[in-house]
Structure 1
Amino acid sequence: MEYIPILVLIISFVGLLSIGTPVAWSIAISSLLTMLVSIPALPAFTTISQRMATGLDSFALLAIPFFILSGELMNNGGIAHRLIAFAKTLVGALPGGLALINVISAMLMGAIAGSAMASASAMGSILGPEMEKEGYDKEFGAAVNITSATTGLVIPPSNILIVYSLASGGASIAALFLAGYIPGILTGLFLMVVASFWAKKKGYNVGKRSSFKEVFRTFVDAVPALFLLVLVIGGIVAGIFTATEASAIAVLYSLILGFIYKEITLEKLPKIFLDSSATTAIVMLLIGASMSMSWVLSYEHIPQEISTGLLGISDNKIMILLIINLILLLVGIFMDITPAVLIFTPIFLPVVTKLGIDPVHFGVIMILNLCIGLCTPPVGSVLFVGVGIAKTSIEKVVRPLLPLFVAMIAALFLITYIPQLTLWLPGLFDL
């Protein structure tokens, strides 16, 4: 009998997904069906709806709609063009220069906008045609754009780091933000190395070396956008404001910057607000549904059983982290990053904390791992955006994607087994 709830949960969730039910509704309905196994219908319906509502009752979650809005403002405010121009002067003369520009620009854009989708859309639409013009394969350009866009989910400010903080029961957002820098940059560097080797092998064109004057000019042009990182992260780390307050400041700064650059007008604002509202609604529905499933898992004592099972296999930290990474890589293929973080954090966090692993370190491992899933079918949202922007197909992009996947997995395992890469910066600021 004790295995019936988990079987109902898994079978109903997979079944709903397989017939095309949206992820949020699949999560909520499968959670409800699982509760119906244990309690009568009225309390089950009441409990699920109540848990969806109370799951969103968090001050920290206010930061998400603000960061989404600031990302939309940045995406429409001419930021991408300036970041690309700056990146071009830095690495344009290296083998695969345009691919390297894509990676650096995506890291900067992702860090500023906090959205992999926004980064993939902006970089793909601007750099994609330019790469084709210079003789790069369309599929290679799309593969680089897709994988590099996910680095912005690790480099702060990042909405998914805030979601993990909520799911973990209070891991410091400031510590998570600082912890994401080195892993995000390291992943970007690994992608750049692979992209450079691939470009050299294919014999793609190499750009001209930029003068110091050009580097300085493009840097000065990009400084107002880059200052947002200093403003937001510096303010949080210094204790001047919370992550939620920082997100509101980011919106105000992005709006002012868009008007200064003359890329945002009063006529454009309604569409920007509407787009950010639609994205926020999707994210919040996913969070509410996922919180209800997390509660159902806890009610049925599933995390404790999984914890006991994993520790029964081995109490070796290296082996347990390997197993969890493999499970998360599989989960990322079939589930979007937000529900995956909310559902699996309560399951795996008790296991790793028993082994003495820092929750901040584990949070970065989990998010970096699930970022790989965003680039894989059948639910890889960034994959579909990147392929759509490039006007190609998933089948054609797979081949150049594979070595970039290897680069991301190599970075993941380095971050997993060298915790200092994640914890050094938070430790520096006593967070």
Structure 2
Amino acid sequence: MKSFKLLLTLLILASWACSGPDESQNKVITDAAKARLDSALNEMVESRMVAGASALIFEKGEEVYFHATGFADREAQKPMGRNTIAIIYSMTKPVTGVALMTLYEKGAFQLDDPLEKYAPEFANMQVFSGVDSISGVIKLEPLNRPITIRDITRHTAGFAINPNQPGLGELLKAADAGNPNNTLVQMAEKMGTVPLMFQPGTQWAYGPSVDVQAFLVERLSGKPYGEYVRENVLDPLGMSETRYFVPEADRGRMSAMYRRGEDESLSQVPDSIAHAFNTKEWALTPGGYGLTSTLDDYMKFTQMLVNEGTYNGVTILKPETVQLMATNQLDDSVTERMFLPSKGNVGFGIDFAVRVAPTSSPEENMGVVGEFFWDGAASTLFWVDPKHDLTAVLFVQVMPFAGQVHKKFRDAVYGPYVAQPEKK
């Protein structure tokens, strides 16, 4: 009888082992994924795609992967490390978007309010429609509708961006709105004098819209933007190393910047150029670029987002606000989208790209429907994957923008593309 009970117990245990839930199957970052990630990051350095790379991934609130390889400064033989400070360029934009949306939650504005309601600097805007071939006079047309705040959060405002565009480019250069010696108010005043390059809401064109968001935060809050974002986003999240100005004592941790040539060689950009914005306190505190950060600091921001606005007991935004930001705001009628399609099957929310359809080919970046993300000019990247409660941050410092770096990293996280069977 005892032997029968023992056999029955063993059979039950064996049954549980065979048919019970395999937790590893519910994870994205398995041992196999870690091996792929190590290989991908190491290969980026060995092939001289980048001088150094570091990555941090959290899944279900826990750190599941960290790896740093190569050099923060190859010439000085300074290794890439966990506390390396990187210039994150446009990964500044989502931070600004969060700061703006804290004011949205306070009822300071509605997304479809005209921008000029709060910023008369943008009243009486016109749209550039060419140059008269005989007289050389610039042709302008009136707005079909005003720029809205929604437009500046999704890059559909129409602000001019090409200094080489005949006619409009000359006006853009003369205004010099983005000069770092300008305050945000001066920037807005100068932008308001330059005609738009298209009617608001008709195209997606990446440009200075998020700098205007920073200006709007300043206007609505009555505080300097740098002070507001520090008090309402960065400090509450404990992001003490995410900043515009890097003090001298911390500059030894700043990564060098590299430029990849057409012959695929890497050359270091002199620090006097690469770090110029972050080693002096300028008048301009742009919303669209300018912050530096560390892996752990930026991970706090992504964890707040995946937790729908709350991190470490501190609430920055309500869940419904984060969901709104992570919802595609582009109508299908917006067919002109610059480089956005290169990011995959995505739309654009409030300062994030938003994946709206599954990966459809081996050439496309791997991703999950519902994820939201953005990157930076020096090829940094982060994303938030609510489906798997996963957040990832990748730091490299290489220009021009290296989309293949992101492709390799995403493939390593999610595994290679597998075509889905067609539904009958």
TM-score (norm 1): 0.27
Compare the two structures and name the one with the higher strand fraction. Answer: 2
The higher relative CO (CA closer than 8 Å, separation ≥ 6) is in 1
Q: Larger Rg: 1 or 2?
A: 2
The TM-score, its normalising length taken from structure 2, stands at: 0.28
